[in-house]
Amino acid sequence: MANFRSHLTVGALVSGVAAFASYGEGLSNAVETQALFVLGTAASLLPDIDADDSKPVRGLFNIVGIVVGFMVAFRLAGRVGLFEQVGIWLGSALLIAFPLRWAFAKLTVHRGIWHTLLMAIVITLTVTVVADSLLRLGPVLAWLAGGFVLLGYFTHLTLDEVASVDLLDRRVKRSFGTALKPLSLRAWPWSLVLMGLTVLLIGLTPDPAPMLAGISQLCIAIEPLEAYWPRW
């Protein structure tokens, strides 16, 4: 299994190349491109959320706790005093960062349902739907957001699978096949839930035609580069 630094480095490199391509073809502006880069890099760490005590897990729950706690406290502005707001903010953040993280660790198994292509698809579709329906970003940017999540997620799974093969000793580790798998048969109830969510989310996604048109333009732009490729 690749370590945290490897996932972060490779995820950032892959997301960076994709972000430059998106910006170069006018699919996203400067601010949107930077956000897509961050989104793809973060997604490259997401599959390790099922590790009981990993840096991605601690970081994710800490950030979510701070953000959600602030939002809850901010909604109470004008109803409670400043000290009460700060107390609610800190209390909510600590609740998410510790008890909820502990409960999540107890309910999940490393390299289980989170290390599947099915989970990658569900999260991708969820981000796409949220970006389009709630954030009103438009079909192209919504699909870009989902695509960067899928790219980062898939990069993590692939890197873990590659790390399962010891090329120097010419052997395959026991972890081979546990990272890049379609679904989890051991957690079949969750797999069924994710399948149902996939069908539901597909019906809520925006029209992909504008995004497909943008990808076609990108492919056309890359075509002239074939002249520089070596002929084997």
Residues 56 and 40 in one domain: no
Q: Is 121 found in the same domain as 15?
A: yes
- pLDDT value for 17: 93
Q: Are 46 and 61 within one domain?
A: no
Token couple for 103: 């409960």
- Within this chain, do residues 32 and 127 fall inside the same structural domain, yes or no? yes
Q: Do 205 and 104 belong to one domain?
A: no
Indicate the residue among 109, 141, 156 that finishes a domain.
109
186 and 211 within one domain? yes
Tell me, yes or no, whether 17 and 92 share the same domain: no
Q: What is the pLDDT of residue 169?
A: 43
Which of 60, 89, 109 represents a domain boundary (last residue)? 109
User: Can you give the pLDDT at residue 232?
Assistant: 44
**Ranges under pLDDT 50 in the chain:** 165-172, 175-176, 222, 225, 228-232
Q: How distant is the alpha carbon of residue 223 from its chain centre?
A: 29
Q: Which domain does 19 fall in, by range?
A: 4-50+112-228
pLDDT in tens, 55-67: 666 776 777 788 7
Residues 59 and 128 in one domain: no
**DSSP line for 129-188:** HIIIIIS---HHHHHHHHHHHHHHHHHHHHHHHHHTEETTTTEE-TTTTSSSBS--STTH
Q: Are residues 99 and 190 in the same domain?
A: no
Domain count, the chain: 2
Same domain, 29 and 134: yes
* Model pLDDT, residue 106: 61
Answer whether 149's CB lies under 8 Å from 40's CB.
Answer: yes
Q: Which of 78, 93, 109 is the last residue of a domain?
A: 109
Query: Residues 213, 183: one domain?
Result: yes
Please state, in angstroms and rounded to a whole number, the distance separating the CA atoms of residues 51 and 111.
8
- Give the model confidence (pLDDT) of 102-116 as tens digits: 766 665 555 668 888
Cβ–Cβ < 8 Å for 96, 65: yes
On whether the CB atoms of residues 75 and 40 are closer than 8 A, the answer is no
